[in-house]
Structure 1
Amino acid sequence: MKLFPIEEEFKKNPDLNPDELKKLMEWINQQPHLPEIADLEASLFLHSCYYSIELAKQTIDTFVTMRTHVPEFFHRLDLSSDEMKLAMNNSTIFPIEKSTPEGYKIYIGRLANFDARNFNFASGIKLFSMIFDLTLREGGSAPGHIIILDLTGVSLGHVARLGPLTMKKFLYFLQDAAPIRIVGFHFINIVPFSDKILALMRPFMKKELSEILHFHENMESLKKFIPLEILPKEYGGLEGNGNELCGNYNNFNLFFLFLNIQLTKYRAIFYIILENIYKHCIENQDFFTELETRKVNEKARPGKPKDASVLFGIEGNFKKLDID
């Protein structure tokens, strides 16, 4: 995996000032608790914060702090693990190759296995974040990012397994830590109990996110925001099937179970079977292994150290409600 060239990032974003980026990098290198951060990665934070250095500093610290203290999302980033095999089997998550006319990048997520007993929200978020981490660093910034969640196959059993604390952590990361500009959050193929999902999300959403959150009863409604032709065929578009774009991992999960072998040892075999985004992630397992080492050294942090309770409040308040 190669980082998107910083020179190209400057060409892409004329408002990205080299001197401002240099100031941000100098600040990063002076923070004893922060891990190493590349120029491109710092530029992504600066871009996502609309070139505010102070806001970028805060976002970087939150980003790395979350990666340290939210293990269910950011630890054990091993795609050969049973957890991640199950996540790839149960979820179809992929970026759309084409962007909107505004240049917005689109990610689609949906269930691949409708059995709620197999659903693990945190593992799905981990898989999404891994895909996002890889594609963002390879493709650089975008004017905006759009997330589409397809509720096909979602039952009340799935909703019951979301968990308010897990939802709070996910939305906190999306709004306060991810180095992107979220410009759209869309739910399609909505279910009669979509209001329960919204009720779970609402307490943790900022006004900016609530204003771009939309539930669509049909694709014509989505068409007002996104040209359907750039979407996969099953959504009225002209691109390939979503399972093909993702890698259709669920069709060969039994192959893993039958052979019971390690990806790192027999990688060539899987290249014949895996396709597209899941295959690409597996090819770059070394990137995720290295990414997992980038954590905050709380002992070296200026001021008081942080932990999950500082970020999200007392977790005990959620224990009776969070059934993840």
Structure 2
Amino acid sequence: MAHYHVLPNEHEENRLFVEYNMTNAQVKEDVAAIKEWMLTCSNLPKFPESKNDEINFWIEGFLRLTKCNIEKSKIAIESHFRMKTIFPQVFDVNDLPSYVESDIFDYLTMVMLPKHTPDGLKVMYCNFNDRNTHLFRPVEIYRRMRLMLDIYQKKGIDFTGIHVVIDTKNITLSHISQFDLFQLKNLIKHAQKAYPLRLKHTHIMFPPSFIDIAKNVLKPFVSKKMFSRLSFHKNLETLWEHIPRDVLPVEYGGYCGNLDMIKEEWKTLILKNSDWFLSNESYKLEDSKQTKKLQKTVPVQETFSFKTLVLD
């Protein structure tokens, strides 16, 4: 039975440092430079001295994500706090113990699989438990993704990129119709900056008959580069050409545990970090004219949705 390695995986951390030509001395110097920059930004939150070590390691996480690029790390840090201000529902961490035991949490399976691929990548997996939409909330996708990535940010980024596997066999047009186009566009825009992940490939498993409709609607909101890294798989064999079976769970012909077990382990990880999430909930970008304008422009409950384009 597979179990999560203690995060981070030391072997994969070392691989990342070698691949990005990073040294501890250089990282320490770059972290200090970014902290100094943060102090000059009046709109960024100020942290107590007791959080010094935590913030240092958190900044290092951005350096790992950006291949030790200071300027990209600065953009990511500012975007992170801007997202917390613009999309508070994505960063809601109230009563996490009840949340992870809720039917809404259980309806969506979203996890990072335990093992790395041979080239140091992680696999993010997502599916819906059934075709019924009464428990589906689009915001849950963003919220769960954020919880996972922030845990990695806290523990230590130990991967150089990700594969995303989305099983669409239970996705219906009713699911698609609930997505808010304006919110989706802006979430993608800000999330790409706040979490600068290297997306190796997105794998759509068992695509539904209406997949072309969804592709045409999504196309304006994602870059050509991201779109070119999209593959559709009608069977498991073609997925195995991209991701080794010893990385995949048994449900996908793999040898690395089962999804129920992996999901339970992620529930445990979220609960173990619930106090940390709460302690950082209030750190956001100070309300600026730009942020207030964005909040007004992109209301959470905007009525212009996929339903207008797809179902009418």
Q: Shorter-chain TM-score: what band?
A: 0.7 to 0.9
**TM-score (ref. length: structure 2):** 0.81
Aligned counterpart in structure 2 of residue 13 of structure 1, from 17, 31, 37? 17
Distance in 2 separating the partners of 1:219 and 1:312: 44
Counterpart position of 1:33: 43
- For 2:33, the aligned partner's letter is K
Could you tell me how far 1:295 is from its partner in structure 2? Answer: 0.7
Counterpart position of 1:282: 271
Distance in 1 separating the partners of 2:43 and 2:307: 33
Distance in 2 separating the partners of 1:10 and 1:59: 23
Distance in 2 separating the partners of 1:229 and 1:33: 46
- For 1:51, the aligned partner's letter is C
Number of corresponding residues: 289
Q: Does 1:176 align with 2:193?
A: yes
Q: Does 1:89 align with 2:124?
A: no
Could you tell me how far 1:72 is from its partner in structure 2? Answer: 2.4
Contact between 1:108 and 1:149, CA under 8 Å: does it hold in 2?
yes
Could you tell me how far 1:31 is from its partner in structure 2? Answer: 2.0
Could you tell me how far 1:11 is from its partner in structure 2? Answer: 8.0
Could you tell me how far 1:97 is from its partner in structure 2? Answer: 1.0
Counterpart position of 2:121: 104
Counterpart position of 2:242: 225
Counterpart position of 2:211: 194
Partner SS for 2:127: strand
Distance in 1 separating the partners of 2:7 and 2:244: 29
Contact between 1:72 and 1:123, CA under 8 Å: does it hold in 2?
no
Distance in 2 separating the partners of 1:225 and 1:212: 12
Root mean square deviation, CA, Å: 3.1
Distance in 2 separating the partners of 1:312 and 1:172: 16
Distance in 1 separating the partners of 2:79 and 2:93: 20
Deviations 1:206-232 (A, max 9, x none): 233222222222222222221123100
Contact between 1:4 and 1:40, CA under 8 Å: does it hold in 2?
no
Deviations 1:52-95 (A, max 9, x none): 22222122111110111112211344324569823312111211
Distance in 2 separating the partners of 1:4 and 1:38: 17
Contact between 1:228 and 1:236, CA under 8 Å: does it hold in 2?
yes
Q: How does 1:1-324 map to 2 (within 5 A)?
A: 12-14=16-18, 15-16=21-22, 17-18=26-27, 19-35=29-45, 36=47, 38-80=55-97, 85-247=102-264, 276-298=265-287, 305-307=289-291, 309-310=293-294, 319-321=303-305
C-alpha change, 1:102 and 1:317, in structure 2 (3 Å) is same
Contact between 2:201 and 2:230, CA under 8 Å: does it hold in 1?
yes
Could you tell me how far 1:312 is from its partner in structure 2? Answer: 9.5
C-alpha change, 1:317 and 1:69, in structure 2 (3 Å) is closer
Could you tell me how far 1:21 is from its partner in structure 2? Answer: 2.9
Could you tell me how far 1:130 is from its partner in structure 2? Answer: 0.9
Counterpart position of 2:51: none
Which residues of structure 2 form unaligned runs of 5+?
1-5, 48-53
Which residues of structure 1 form unaligned runs of 5+?
248-275, 299-303
Contact between 1:95 and 1:108, CA under 8 Å: does it hold in 2?
yes
**TM-score (ref. length: structure 1):** 0.78
Show structure 1 runs of 4+ deviating over 6 A: none
Distance in 2 separating the partners of 1:289 and 1:242: 28
Distance in 2 separating the partners of 1:108 and 1:229: 15
Contact between 1:231 and 1:237, CA under 8 Å: does it hold in 2?
yes
Distance in 2 separating the partners of 1:147 and 1:294: 29
Could you tell me how far 1:113 is from its partner in structure 2? Answer: 3.8
Distance in 1 separating the partners of 2:15 and 2:240: 31
Partner SS for 1:61: helix
Partner SS for 1:42: helix
